[in-house]
A and B are shown apart, each in its own frame.
Chain A
Amino acid sequence: QQQVKQSPQSLIVQKGGISIINCAYENTAFDYFPWYQQFPGKGPALLIAIRPDVSEKKEGRFTISFNKSAKQFSLHIMDSQPGDSATYFCAARGRGGKLIFGQGTELSVKP
């Protein structure tokens, strides 16, 4: 019940395309859903986050779509660029403030 399932494991997108990464959770007590971006040799960095009382949040080219009834949320990267190539993690915050991370998606944007 504490798991967050993320898909796909890897994704290849052409420059200018849309990258979509999906996550699903079971625990309805999760109260905050961040996405982190990680480059090789670096720690994860917060990209964008959403609360469960909001269905969509957009920041620049990055959008989170949240479906509370389906217990799913997704990250959309519009106009994907080679510089977006990184590993993306979804997460959910549970009891005591603990973040539960998905397994990660390795995104490669081809020029």
Chain B
Amino acid sequence: DAGVIQSPRHEVTEMGQEVTLRCKPISGHNSLFWYRQTMMRGLELLIYFNNNVPIDDSGMPEDRFSAKMPNASFSTLKIQPSEPRDSAVYFCASSFSRTYTLSARDNQPQHFGDGTRLSIL
């Protein structure tokens, strides 16, 4: 079975440019998560969706970041305009959740993609 697929794997762009990261979750999963990984801050949750609806975007750093999930098989994370401090590895993860709030009984693990390494010059 295909896992979570992210593209591109690497992105190098200049400050001020728009960056779009893409994610295809595992088929049948209904929860999708975007994370950012840096040496300084570790793994941080940016936003997560349940049944294509954004549930919690409190981790999104600022208005330059936006995420969409137009259907169950695709999500994007967009940074506009990009800044050097946005350089990081961005991960997408998906899981199956039976309940809206991911209750204690719903211990479905999150499956991660291999990430997009983003460098803003």
| CB closest residue in chain B, given A96 | B56
A48 to chain B, nearest CB (A): 10
Per a CB cutoff under 8 Å, which of B91, B102, B115 touches A96?
A: B102
Given A89-B43, A96-B102, A101-B43, A41 contacting B56 (CB threshold 8 A): no
Q: Which of B48, B55, B109 contacts A46 (CB 8 A)?
A: B109
Q: How large is the interface on B (under 10, 10 to 19, 20 to 34, 35 or more residues)?
A: 20 to 34
A93 cross-chain contacts in B, Cβ below 8 A: 102
Contacts of B115 in A (CB 8 A): 42-43
Whether A49 touches B109, Cβ cut-off 8 Å, given contacts A32-B104, A96-B102, is yes
Contacts of A34 in B (CB 8 A): 109
B15 at the interface (CB under 8 A from A): no
Q: 8 Å CB contacts to B: which residues of A2-56?
A: 31-32, 34, 36, 41-46, 49, 51
Number of interface residues of A (CB under 8 A): 22
| Separation of A101 and B42 alpha carbons in the complex (Å) | 8
Q: Does B93 contact A (CB under 8 A)?
A: yes
Q: Is A61 an interface residue (CB 8 A)?
A: no
Q: Which of chain B's residues have a CB closer than 8 A to the CB of A45?
A: 111-112
> A45–B91 Cα gap in the complex (Å)?
12
* Residues of A that sit less than 8 Å from B by CB: 31-32, 34, 36, 41-46, 49, 51, 89, 93, 96-99, 101-104
5 other A-B residue contacts (CB within 8 Å) besides A89-B43, A96-B55, A102-B42? A44-B43, A96-B56, A97-B102, A99-B45, A104-B43
14 interchain pairs, CB-CB under 8 A: A31-B104, A34-B109, A41-B114, A43-B4, A43-B91, A43-B113, A45-B111, A51-B104, A51-B107, A89-B42, A96-B55, A97-B48, A99-B45, A104-B43
